[in-house]
Amino acid sequence: MRGTWWSLLMFATSVLCAREAPCLDAISFSESSADKAVCVRDPDFGDVFCDELTTGKFTLKATVFSTVDLTDPAIVALLDPSTPVSLTIGDWEWDGTLGDDPKYVGGAKKAKLKIQHERCRETAQDEICKDVTHATISLSVTKKGLSVVISAKTGDTDVEEFETSPLASEHAEDPGNFTDTVPASIDIGNGTLAESVTLIVTGTTKIHTVLKGGDEFDLGNVKLKSVGILP
């Protein structure tokens, strides 16, 4: 029975999206990033060493598969913890399964996926580490389609690494206003439910120069947002 419904869903999705492409009601994307010079002093010799680091964040909100009846019990039943999910926006990508949400059960209409890294600190006795969430992916079946919300930190600090910047890093060295495009896609079930678009974005890059540790750093600050979809 699963194979029959799977085949029907693949056929329905391909036909509907071909007739009314894209299967998309709304999408918005924004990103920001900021460079900073971080310095540390050598405890033995007193020398200061500086490095340039970049941290930022991005958010994507979309409603997809609006022409597919995702509330149909037969379709909802296909979503189980083993269902693969692939998401991309520019240079950022994530691959996993609905089961990466430990609370997700088969047929559930919501999944919240967390992307984590290990944060450690030294104590007098030992090193203490814990998992820290730096990105979340929320998927929710609604009457309008599948709601997708992604929120993530990007870049790194002197001790932590976050997600890859989707687009801002490509404009960090060019001051002024800019217009660009960025591809975005979602794939659920290895192509069973899939959608991709190219977003038009506008943004601004500001650069200021600082002197730290005897070195000169040109630090960029980038802000961008989507303004439409490329036809």
Residues of the chain with pLDDT under 50: 1-22
CA distances from 110 to 84, 107, 170, 182 (A): 15, 9, 34, 27
Residues 142-157 have pLDDT tens digits of: 888 899 999 999 999 8
Residue 9, phi then psi, degrees to nearest 5: -65, -40
Residue 18's pLDDT is 36
Q: Output the CA–CA distances (angstroms, integers) from residue 13 to 24, 61, 73, 97, 113, in the order listed.
A: 12, 21, 16, 20, 24
pLDDT at 181: 98
Q: Residue 7 has what pLDDT?
A: 32
* pLDDT for res 145: 87
State which H helix or E strand residue 41 sits in: strand 24-41
Burial class (CB in 10 A: 0-12, 13-18, 19+), 97: middle
Entry pTM: 0.84
